[in-house]
Amino acid sequence: MAERLHVMIAGRVQGVGFRYSTVRQAERLGLTGWVRNCPNGCVEAEFEGPRAELEAMLAWCHHGPSLALVDSVDARWETGDAKYTQFTVR
């Protein structure tokens, strides 16, 4: 059964390729959902897929791409309903 993971990532996460690296990592893991920059400087994302792949994605979010400096990741787990067909940048 699919689950959903919603994250807010704070730190130096904008202007460092975080969104596009997130897309590549999510696609590697077979996840669907979206990622976007927020006006407050955070990156927000929602992922759907199997629990093991979501846990791997969450671990990746704690460091992100090489130029990022992640200060914190706020994660919320939910029941997935397969509302996404791919992973996109919003």
| Neighbour tally for 65: CB within 10 Å | 16
Catalytic residue chosen out of the listed positions 28, 37, 51, 76:
37
Catalytic residue chosen out of the listed positions 4, 12, 19, 28:
19
Active site residue 40: no
State the pTM of this model.
0.95
Residue 60, amino acid: W
Q: How do the pLDDT tens digits run along the chain, 90 residues long?
A: 689 999 999 999 999 999 999 999 999 999 999 999 999 999 999 999 999 999 999 999 999 999 999 999 999 999 878 889 999 999
Give the angle 75-54-65 at the CA atoms, nearest 5°: 80
Compute the distance between CA of residue 23 and CA of residue 86 in angstroms, rounded to an integer. 10
Compute the distance between CA of residue 1 and CA of residue 11 in angstroms, rounded to an integer. 32
Structural domains of the chain in order of their starting residue, each with its CATH number: 3-75 (3.30.70.100)
Pair 65, 16: CB distance under 8 Å: yes
